[in-house]
Amino acid sequence: MTVVSMTVNGTKVTRDVPDETLLALFLREHLELTGTHIGCDTTQCGCCVVNLDGRSVKSCTVLALHADGSEVTTIEGLAKDGLLSPMQQSFHDMHALQCGYCTPGMVMAATNLVETYKGELTEEVVREEMEGNLCRCTGYHNIVKAILAVAHGEVTPHDKVEA
């Protein structure tokens, strides 16, 4: 067991955890932030993507101890001032989610992608850069549209997060 401290969604947390605790399970089981999902064992599906110190990472292949002293943002931390984030809003507007299981990782990855590329994204780049996130429901069509809409500054959040 080792004490680990990090800032998650703006809140400092400290827990004593087994060394082998994966960041995804730390979030889900120790912090009860169950929005971060686990969909595979081989770092392929992307359901567990979170933001770690400004980088998108697959949290099922990062140890909680790796994130010691870091800033972590999860799907629960994206909304601001009671409103959906632009990417969340765009996914809602474009019907870019169905079952919702890949959605947290997808939104986190897409958010980071747009931050990286600013406004320069094209469909081809989105498709290439998002290949590490699998979705079984949408055929990706509406997700691509949703990401491009945010990249092109076409989305203004207006829906309130449920209380």
96-115 positions binding another protein, by CB under 8 A: 97-104, 107, 109, 112-113
Shortest spacing between CB 144 and another protein, in angstroms = 7
DSSP secondary structure string for all residues of 56-86: EEEGGGSBGGGGTT-EEE-GGG--BTTB--H
- Phi first, then psi, for residue 4 (nearest 5°) are -125, 140
Shortest spacing between CB 92 and another protein, in angstroms = 5
- Our CB check for another protein shows the closer of 7 and 44 to be 44
Output helix, strand, coil percentages for the chain, rounded to the nearest 5.
35, 20, 45
- Our CB check for another protein shows the closer of 29 and 153 to be 29
- Phi first, then psi, for residue 83 (nearest 5°) are -110, 150
Closest CA to 85 of 106, 107, 117, 103: 107
Shortest spacing between CB 129 and another protein, in angstroms = 5
- Our CB check for another protein shows the closer of 7 and 145 to be 145
Footprint (CB under 8 A) of another protein, residues 16-55: 18-20, 22, 28-29, 33-47, 49, 52, 55
